[in-house]
Each structure stands twice: as structure tokens, then as C-alpha cells.
A = this chain, B = another copy of it.
């Protein structure tokens, strides 16, 4: 790949060079100038494509899995979303995995742990719970839950609950590509509930308060559940007193309450509110995003393509791709949940963002 530009490789083949390249190859080496332009691109071009999965299309299939496989056989009964550009590694976008899991009342998974980090966003049903290192949290729709890397965790639905569906989010593709994944099944298959139910939010969920006698030195948040009720209330409160970001509307990040940092080292999560009729301007970021519509109706323009969405639809924004969001309601706000790999990009010094400069900030549709 030659480029006729100063500072880029532009070497013509010759007999002598071809012979030279062959000798290099035998030594497990190569000439940089033959690959330099390819491995030093001018800017990122994601191999993922923007995608939207309609819940209406997926729900029946997910529910059907209940009849097709048992959790015991399946490990977890999940339909995962596969980006056409990332099919071989099972990622929804970039190095993020997502899927929809279904569980009947009385079912539970076996407890396990891995170097990958995981999160869940509840979609429907009642009686769902997650246990993290012995701490059980009860879950309702739109609650956001963590099962950080290295923690023993398992999920289930209580006997008196309803069939539950939720979105799983993991950095499995990232941790796999970094060749750093480990997996263990809990020695007792199912872990004990070692603490009172909901002790994590009861202990660490007080606004602006920390329990003095609960030391914490892990790299992830001690708050394992962020409830929809308190999150939506916080967003509405915030939106009444602040100015909307032109690119994000009102955007709040779920944080580790003891550090202000992201909930986990590799993945962040956020909830944003779009006011009635709001149409944000386009920008792009180094980082991949998996969205789920938590409330309302609208559309997003991603890489010049329009994706219409309603509650529980899932869509993705690949890295360095322009995106803008529109709330189509004149009367109701819309809320988008998303998880992303921004903490990874920020830790590694790779984050940047850029506004779409033309057309008053709005992408023309392709």
C-alpha cells in the first residue's frame, strides 16, 4: 500500500527488493515500509457497522429459548447480538458484547467468575436478582447492575416472580483479544447469600454519604445496583436546573460513589435524557457504545444512517462515527441507557472527540 505523500511509505517493488523481502520473511521479519501505511491509518475506521435490533423482532426468539434449552445445559440462556463486521468474535460493536437473557421463575444460573467485566440492564419481568460475592440485589425493570471482573456472580428469578428478560453487557471480546480472560465455576455451583439482601445499595447508595466503617479498595464500584427510580429522578432534577449539552442533552454517568470514577475499569455506563423534541448535534468519540432505549420514541443518525427506536430497542455506535439523537415526542422526554468502553480509552490515553462541523452540526442522511 503505497502513498505518494511526504512522510508516508512509497517504495516501488524491484527484483532486488522482492528477493530481499523473501529473505526477511525467512527470518520472521519484514520491511516496515510495505505495511507502514496500513498499520498507521490517518484515523480510525471501525470494522463495526451501526446497527439497531428491534425488541419486537427479538423478544419472541428470546422467550422461545426458554423452551429450547435449560440454563443447566446452556450455561446462560442468552441470544447475543452480532455485529456483521464482528461476527467471528461475537461482538455487538467494537470489543463490546451484548445479549438478551431469559429466565423463568425459580431458575438460576450457576455461579462463576471471569476476568471479563459484566453488567445488566433489566428489560421486563419481576423477581430478578443477582448475587455478587455473596451480596444479593433485587432487580426491577430498567435497573442497572454490575458484576465486576473477578467477582463470583449468578443470576436468577425468584419462585414468585415472572419470566424476566434483561440485557447483558460484557467486555469479553476486549479481554479475549487482550488474551487476559480467565474463567472459573464456583466450587459450590451456587454461592451463599452471605449478606442481607440489597445491602450494597443500602450501604453505598446514600447520596453524598459514605459509611465510615466499610473500607473498600477494589477497582470497581461497591454499589452494585443503580435503580431506575433514583436514576430517572436524578436526571429530571438535573435537567430542570442545568443547560443541556448540545451533543448529549442531559447526560449522567453511573459512577463509583467512593471515587467519582467509572463503575468498572474497562466499561462505563450512562443514562441520558432528551427533552421533548430535542435533536442533539452530531459528534464522534474514540469509543464504542451500546444503547438501550429506556423510555420514549425517537431516532438516531449514526454514520449518516437513520435508526428509529422505541423502548427496549438496542442500537450501537461504532468508534469515531458521528451520531446524533432525536426525541420524536412533543410532550415526553426520552431516555437512553448506554454502556461503553470509554474508561478503557481514557486509561490508555486514546480518548478524543470531535464535533460535526458542517451543516449546522447535523449529518446529512446517506
Contact = CB atoms under 8 A, between A and B. Distances in A.
A214 B252 CA distance: 10
B182 A74 contact: no
A211 to B, nearest CB: 5
Contacts of A84: 28
A150 to B, nearest CB: 8
Interface string A22-65: 01100111111101110111111111000101000110010011
Interface string A177-214: 11111111110010000011111011111111111111
Nearest to A111: B7
B319 A179 contact: yes
B172 A73 contact: no
A366 B35 CA distance: 35
Contacts of A345: 178, 180
Interface in A165-179: 172-173, 175-179
Contact of A209 (B195, B206, B252): B252
B44 A7 contact: no
Contact of A286 (B99, B180, B319): B180
Contacts of A198: 241
Nearest to A148: B349
Contacts of A233: 206
A29 B8 contact: no
A230 B33 CA distance: 35
A126 to B, nearest CB: 22
Per assembly, the copies of the chain total 4
Interface residues of A, number: 146
Contact of A237 (B205, B266, B349): B205
Interface in A91-110: 94-95, 97, 99, 110
B39 A90 contact: yes
Interface string A5-27: 11111110000110010011001
A27 B57 CA distance: 8
B185 A99 contact: no
Given A61-B29, A206-B252, A253-B212, A41 B181 contact: yes
A252 B211 CA distance: 4
A329 interface: no
A362 to B, nearest CB: 20
Nearest to A214: B242
B181 A241 contact: no
A173 to B, nearest CB: 8
B207 A207 contact: yes
B252 A234 contact: no
Contacts of A45: 179
Contact of A51 (B28, B76, B179): B28
Nearest to A89: B39
A309 interface: no
A188 to B, nearest CB: 11
Nearest to A252: B209
A252 B212 contact: yes
A254 interface: yes
A250 B99 CA distance: 40
Contacts of A180: 44, 286, 319-320, 345, 348, 350
A251 interface: yes
A158 interface: no
Contacts of A178: 95, 344-345, 348, 350
Q: Which 5 A-B pairs have the closest CB atoms?
A: A206-B234, A7-B185, A199-B241, A32-B78, A347-B347
